[in-house]
Structure formats: C-alpha cells, structure tokens
Amino acid sequence: MKLNVVATLALLLIWGCARAPVKDRSEAMRKASSPPAVSDDLQFESLVSGINANADFLEKSSRGDLIFGQQRIDKKKYISALRYLTKNSEDKESFYKSVYQNFDFYEVYGNENWSEIKATSYYSPVLKGSKKKTKKLWQPLYSTPKDILVIDVDEFVESFPKWKVFKEQILEQRSSRSLIKARLVEEKNGPSRIVPYYKREDIDEKEVYKKEKDLVIAYVDPIDSFFLQIQGSGIIEMEDGSRFTVGYANQNGHPYVAIGSLLLDKIPKEKMSMQALQSYLRTLSKKEMQKILNKNPSYVFFQKIESKPIAFLGTEVVDGRTVATDNGLFPKGALAFLEFEKPIFESLQATEPVEWKKSARFVLDQDTGGAIRGPGRLDLYAGGGPEAEQFAGVMKNPARLFYLVPKPEFIRKLD
C-alpha cells in the first residue's frame, strides 16, 4: 500500500528532528520505565481479528525475528504471544489485564522526546475513472512498467567493499534495504548504461509511456491521481458505475517531497490540510499545477486487487488500526499502542474540526510509506469514504507510540 505506501498528509509538512539521528533499529526504541494507561476507542472485535490476521500472516511468511530496539523476539514466540492474548481475552478489560501481566511497553525514540511522535493519517479515496481520455479525466493511472530494474547495493558491497559508504548514504533515507530503482539505456556504439528511473516530470509531462497503452489502468483526474499515490490505494468508479480497487504495486525509487512544505507562502501553516492543498491546486492552470506536482519526483504504480487494500505486511488493512511506520526501524506485524488526538467535526461538509478529542487505541504495524521516515513518524489508516477523507485530511498532530513486547517470563511460560 504505502507502500505506500503509506502514506499521506506527511505530504503537508516535513518535521525535522532536533535530537541526534537514529542510526539503526537498535536505537529506535527502549523499554519504558512505566506503562501508559491503556484504553481503546474502537470496537474490540476489530482488534482481535486484526491481531489474528497478523499472526496468521507471520506464520506463513518468511519474515524473521521481530526487533524492538535492542530486544530481538523469535517470530514463533511472538506469534504464540499474540495467540494467547486473543484467546484468553473475552472483552477489553480482560485484554488490558493480560497486556499488563504479560507484555512490556517499549517507547519509540520519537522527535523531541521518547515516545513523542507526529501522527498523520491516510485513507482510501474514491476516484472517478474512464476507459478513454476525457476533458476532466485525462491522467493515466499506470500499472508497473516492465523496464524497472532493481539494483541491490548490498550484493555489490560484498564484491566492492568501498561501496559501503555509498550504501550508508542510501540507508540515511531510512530504506529497509539499500535498493535502487533504475532503467537500462542501450547505446548504439558502446555498452548499455544503467541510469536512475524516470521522475514524475518524465512520466506525467513528457509522457514516456505514451505508446504503452497496456500500462493504463484507467484515466483519472490529475490531482486525484497525485493524492492517490500518496494514499497508496483507492477505489476507481468508472463511467458505467462499475468499481474496482487499486493498490500499491511499485515505486520509481525517487525520494518523496512534501509539496505542502513548498506552498506555505500560499497556504498558512495552521491552515494547511489535504483539502486546502487540493483546493489551491485546482485554481491553477494545467501548466502551473504540473510544475508544482513535479516538485515531488516520487511516483507510484498500481495494480487491481480483489480485496480491501493490502498493507506492506501483506494483510488487509484494518480501519482505524493499521499504521504505517518506517520499515527500517520498526517491526512489521507487531502490536502497538497509540495515544493521539482525533478531530471532531460539526458536519461531514466541515473542512476544519470543532475540537480535538484525546483518544487512545491499540494499533497494528502493517504498513509503510515513502513519506514515513524516521523514529518520530506514524501514519494511521482511517478507512475509506467521505468520513475517512475528512479525518485524514486534517491529521498532523503530536502523539505517543509504544510497542508491546512479550515479557521474558511470559515467553518461558509459553514454551
């Protein structure tokens, strides 16, 4: 998905980190001195089914141990801990009790302080689509091109040790692996060259796929297309009324740039939201709009999917519980606890909340995204439809994040 993902109103602003940067997973979290007071503002059933889905997928996958800072938990033991938690909890209260008895809380490194992060939100939009270009729907939504090459720098480092510096520079962008997206350029009078893959400007403005009609999934509104790439998945409603879901398939390898941070002279920081950004872009000419969109060279390719949107982990997203975090720092498939403020709106038509309500819930680390980088960022999946769009459009608030790690004595008990 974000794969989004993943991800989303991070497009609005990029928050810097005043603390020393985290170098690897071992520094990303630590055991909290005291656990937070847990609660959950969603239905208990969605939590149980989500945890079981994580356990099911981890059981079948080739993923290795789960790493929580300096603590490494065997995957099978973590699965057993999740199974125990759901099988021995009849309701929220018994779930809370089991959590306190059997799990430690690990606080993430955060931004200014431990556990303190910035939380944004993403959702699955519904877009109008067409089989042919129209006056309003003219931007192609592409599936993955066949000419994308993946260069695995890790393998080159084994043969060329001096490449290690290059690898470290790549990992500074918080990629879970040092992979580069590229394409092959054939030369008439010499060896072929490998160059960086196409940027947004090449794809949208120079139309490098103009002759490759088989790559087009549908034609959509250009601004809708841009924001769909940030969300990572969505629903396309065709002119005949039929619908299908699209999800993240691939990405061009270029870094994500939040265009909202480039437009603070047009939209005040306190007013910046996805809705405000879309409204501003729609006041521009096609040329002016594209010039701004090109500032973000990152480009996402899609695929049709038969289920709900699929998260990076491989499971279906869970409304209100799936979160996207930096895959290079935090363990996918893990259970976590999030304290945050959620927006309360007067009506579905409102663009700004009337208040922010303190909330908390257990969340599932299943996703990631190009804009979700570092130890102080999280993206919460809001679901699909107008309410989810309204929620995700304004989320950009401080929050606190903790991961649940089975206590050593609990693991021995399970053994």
Rounded to whole angstroms, the Cα distance separating 332 from 171 reads 18
Q: State which of 139, 170, 196 marks the end of a domain.
A: 196
List the beta bridge partners of residue 33. none
Same domain? For 159 and 144 the reply is no
pLDDT beneath 70: ranges in the chain: 1-18, 167, 169-178
Q: State which of 161, 181, 196 marks the end of a domain.
A: 196
Question: Which token pair is 94?
Answer: 């018994």
User: Residue 4 domain-assigned?
Assistant: no
Same domain? For 218 and 183 the reply is no
Query: Is this prediction's pTM over 0.85?
Result: no
The pLDDT score that the predictor gives to residue 19 is 78
Same domain? For 299 and 257 the reply is yes
The pLDDT score that the predictor gives to residue 180 is 87
User: Residue 323 domain-assigned?
Assistant: yes
Same domain? For 217 and 186 the reply is no
Range of the domain at 180: 149-196
Q: State which of 162, 196, 230 marks the end of a domain.
A: 196
DSSP for 220-246, written as a single string: E-HHHHHHHHHH-EEEEEETTS-EEEE
User: Residue 122 domain-assigned?
Assistant: yes
Question: Which token pair is 197?
Answer: 């893959």
* CA dist list (Å): 244 to 23, 225, 269: 41, 15, 36
User: Residue 261 domain-assigned?
Assistant: yes
Same domain? For 212 and 271 the reply is yes
Same domain? For 40 and 60 the reply is yes
The pLDDT score that the predictor gives to residue 11 is 38
Per-residue pLDDT reduced to its tens digit, 237-260: 999 999 999 999 999 999 899 999
Same domain? For 175 and 77 the reply is no
Per-residue pLDDT reduced to its tens digit, 3-13: 444 344 333 33
Rounded to whole angstroms, the Cα distance separating 407 from 386 reads 41
The pLDDT score that the predictor gives to residue 16 is 39
User: Residue 1 domain-assigned?
Assistant: no
Same domain? For 163 and 299 the reply is no
Contact partners, residue 353, CB within 8 Å, separation at least 6: 343, 344, 345, 394
The pLDDT score that the predictor gives to residue 170 is 63
CB 341 within 8 Å of CB 359: yes
Same domain? For 36 and 175 the reply is no
User: Residue 133 domain-assigned?
Assistant: yes
CB 15 within 8 Å of CB 376: yes
The pLDDT score that the predictor gives to residue 371 is 78
Report how many domains make up the chain: 2
User: Residue 2 domain-assigned?
Assistant: no
Same domain? For 180 and 300 the reply is no
Task: Kindly provide the residue ranges of all beta strands, DSSP E only, lying in 126-198, ordered along the sequence.
Answer: 126-130, 139-142, 149-152, 179-185, 193-196
Same domain? For 131 and 143 the reply is yes
Q: The domain spanning residue 380 has which CATH number? A: 2.40.240.50
The pLDDT score that the predictor gives to residue 158 is 82
Same domain? For 185 and 332 the reply is no
Length of the chain: 415
User: Residue 315 domain-assigned?
Assistant: yes
The pLDDT score that the predictor gives to residue 60 is 94
The pLDDT score that the predictor gives to residue 20 is 86
Residue 354 DSSP label: S
